Amino acid sequence: MQKYSVLSLARNAFSGHRNWSPAWRSPPLKNRYDVVVIGAGGHGLATAYYLAKEFGITDVAVLERGWLGGGNIARNTVTIRSNYMRDESIPFYVKSVAMFEGLTHELNFNMMHSKRTMVDVVQTWPKLRELRRRQLVMDIYGSTYEQITSEELRRRIPALTGGGPDARLPVICGMVHTDAGVNRHDAVAWGYARAADARGVEIHQQTAVQSLLRSRHGTIEGVETNRGTIRANKVVVAVSGHTTTLTETAGLKLPLRTMNLTAFVSEPVQPLVDVIVNCPDSGFYFSQSDKGEMVIGGAPDMGQSFRRDIKQHVFEDTVTAMLSLFPSFKKLKLMRQWGGHLDISHDASPIMDQTDIAGLFVTAGWWGGYKAIPAGGLTLAHLVAKGEPHPLMASFTMDRFRHLDFVMEAGTTTAR
């Protein structure tokens, strides 16, 4: 792998940048691999990388219907955090956050990881109670969460001028999660792709899996694609909202639904807000990108959807909530908006498991799942390589549904 550094940049400048090698190869497609990973998104690429790096499994093909990094990873709001509530979730996300922080050096690709802290703007007492409950459990696992006064909150976020004493929901206080950060989503996809490729993993774009193939014994034996049949005894489905579409080709039903979550960005402006702002009572969150755009997200649309646009009323709810706390944003302009597919499981927690079909692995139910990419990839690689769940993900198998023992993680970012 060609090393990226200031020196290599300078060296290449003299040659007019004509000697940069491709970030990944375009190898010919074989008809058999040890492992086929479906989906060159964050989770698929990370899984392939860790299979190669941690477990020495390099005969891996990542098959991508479109372009690599083109799914949810291309359209999320890049918030990385570990402020969860349950014992099952917190250690996993603590690990994921730590892995994200080291990713730039691990992959020799600048992820532009900015550990800039998330600040919750708390506007109701029940929400404060819930967040303080999280805080005390997070303390056990070394994740940081601290309450600050509303004065301190406004000092840290000067643009927060709404939510005064006469507002519909006055600001009560803030909660500060210093472990949280943002980074560059495309870099995560490209960095994993480049590093996985360097370890021998093959990435095949424009390769659409049409169905899963099962042997006479019911085990998985490969996939049918638009480029022909590919055999493998282990197949990993890492396709977020499209999971059920694929697994149903093998007769496997999963408790998943696909929904639409939208985000939007403002025009780029000079630095104004240097933390991730999350307003759970009002139902929105945002951060300012290095380019200066406010990257804003809200609540998902209710119905199932495979569309990638935005519903006007859902969008307006988010905007009005934002303006109530940040009234100066009335003069800020919307520049671009889009949607992504969320895969949401019956209990709204992720599913990572070997399915009833031997050799078929799924990772799903992540609500998009950006912040889970490194640890999700590592733990899935562990599951695929060793055949048993990684301890960090042991509670997230399908087993819980058999006993209706749900993992209820109340309070994703914007739950009202």
Partner 1 sequence: MLLIPCPYCGKRNECEFIYGGPVGAKRPDPNAVNDAEWVEYLTVTPNPQGPVQEKWWHARGCGEWLVIWRDTRTHDIMEAPDDAT
Partner 2 sequence: MQRNRRAEGGRIDRSRPLRFTFNGKPYEGYQGDNLASALLANGVRVTARSFKYHRPRGIVGHGPEEPSTLVELDGEDASGNRPATTVPLCDGLSARSVNCWPSPGFDLGGVNQLFSGLLPVGFYYKTFKWPGWHLFEPAIRKAAGLAAAPASPPASGHFEARHAHADVLVAGAGPAGLQAALKAGRAGKRVFLADEGTEAGGSLLNRALTIDGKPAMDWVSGTVAELDALENVTRLQNATVWAYREHNLVMVNECDPDRDGILERSWRVRAGEVVIATGTTERSMVFGNNDRPGVMLASSVQAYLNRWGVVPGQRVVLFTNNNSAYAVAADLAAAGVSVSAILDSRRTVAPEALDLVAGLTVHLATVVSEVRGHKGVRAVKAAPATGGAGTWIECDLLAHSGGWNPNVHLWSQSRGALRFDDDLAAFVPDQPVQACRAVGAAAGDLSLDRIIEGGADLAYGIEPLWRVDVPGQRGMAFLDIQNDVTVSDVHLALREGYSNVEHVKRYTTAGMGIDQGKTGNINIIGTVAMQQGVPLQDVGTTTFRSPYTPVSFGAIGGLREETVLFPYRHTPVTRWNKDNGAVMYEAGARWQRPGYFPKPGEGLQEAVNRECRAVREGVGVYDGSPLGTFELKGRDVPKFLDFIYANIMSSLHPGNGRYGLMLSDDGLILDDGVVLRLDAHRWLLSTSTGHADAVNQHMEKLLQTEFPDWQVMITTVTSQWNNATICGPRSRDVIRALGTDIDLSPEALPFMSFCDGTVAGFPARIVRVSFTGELSYEVNVAPRHMAAMWDKVMEAGAPFGILPVGSESSHVLRVEKGFLSLGHEVDGTVDAYDLGMGWAMSKKKADYTGKRSVMLRRASGRVRRELVGILPVDPDRQIPEGAPLTPGGRKEATEGLVTACVWSVVNNRWVGLALLENGHSRHGEIAHVRMKDDVIPITITKPVFHDPEGKLMRS
* Residues in touch with partner 1 (CB under 8 A): 242, 244-245, 253-258, 302-307, 311-313, 346, 401-402, 404
Instruction: Give the nearest distance from C-beta 16 to partner 2 in angstroms.
Output: 8
Asked if residue 253 binds partner 2 (CB under 8 A), the reply is no
> ∠105-238-92 over CA atoms, to 5°?
55
Indicate the residue among 71 and 191 with the shorter CB distance to partner 1: 71
**Partner whose binding site includes residue 229, from partner 2, partner 1, none (CB under 5 to 8 Å by kind):** none
Interhelix angle 185-198/373-386, rounded to 10 degrees, is: 30
Measured CA to CA, the distance from residue 273 to residue 241 in angstroms comes to: 32
Looking at beta carbons only, is 124 or 233 nearer to partner 2? 124
63, 220, 261, 322: residue in contact with partner 2 (rule CB under 8 A): 322
> Do residues 33 and 158 touch, judged by C-beta distance below 8 A?
no
Residue placing its CB nearer to partner 2 in the complex, 184 or 390: 184
DSSP 301: P
Q: How far is the CB of 315 from partner 1 (least distance, A)?
A: 10
- Residue 245: contacted member of partner 2, partner 1, none (CB under 5 to 8 Å, by partner type): partner 1
User: Order of strands across the sheet with 209-214?
Assistant: 209-214, 220-225, 228-231
Query: Per CB under 8 A, does 278 bind partner 2?
Result: no
Give the residue, chosen from 27, 31, 139, 302, that forms a contact with partner 2 under the rule CB under 8 A: 139
Q: Which does 15 bind (CB under 5 to 8 A by kind): partner 1, partner 2, none?
A: none
Span interacting with partner 2, options 31-39, 238-246, 269-277, 355-363, rule CB under 8 A: 269-277
* Spacing of C-alpha 152 from chain mean position: 30
Q: Which does 253 bind (CB under 5 to 8 A by kind): partner 1, partner 2, none?
A: partner 1
Radius of gyration of the chain (CA): 22
330 contributes a contact to partner 2 by CB under 8 A:
yes
Residues 43-82 that bind partner 2 (CB under 8 A): 66-70, 74
Q: Is the dihedral of CA 7, 8, 9, 15 positive or negative?
A: positive
- Cβ proximity to partner 1: between 390 and 400 the closer is 400
Q: What's the full length of the chain, in residues?
A: 416
Q: What are phi and psi of 225, to 5 degrees?
A: -125, 175
Q: How far apart are CA 29 and CA 194, in angstroms?
A: 18
CA count, 13 A, side-chain hemisphere, 82 = 29
Q: Say which entry of partner 2, partner 1, none residue 299 contacts (CB below 5 to 8 A, set by partner kind).
A: none
How far apart CA 357 and CA 61 sit, in angstroms, is 20
397, amino acid identity:
T
Task: Pick out residues in 164-203 that bind partner 2 (CB under 8 A).
Answer: 166-169, 184, 186-187, 190-191
Taking CB under 8 A as the rule, does residue 28 contact partner 2?
A: no
Question: Directed axis angle between helix 90-101 and helix 125-140, to 10°?
Answer: 70
Encoded amino acid at 363, one letter: T
Is position 217 an interface residue for partner 2 (rule: CB under 8 A)? no
Q: Is 17 left (phi over 0), alpha (psi -120 to 50) or beta?
A: left
Q: Which does 401 bind (CB under 5 to 8 A by kind): partner 1, partner 2, none?
A: partner 1
Place of tokens 């870099």: 187
* 10/253 with CB nearer partner 2: 10
Binding-site size for partner 2 (CB under 8 A) equals 102
Q: x/- string (CB under 8 A) for partner 2, residues 284-303? A: ----x-xxx-----------
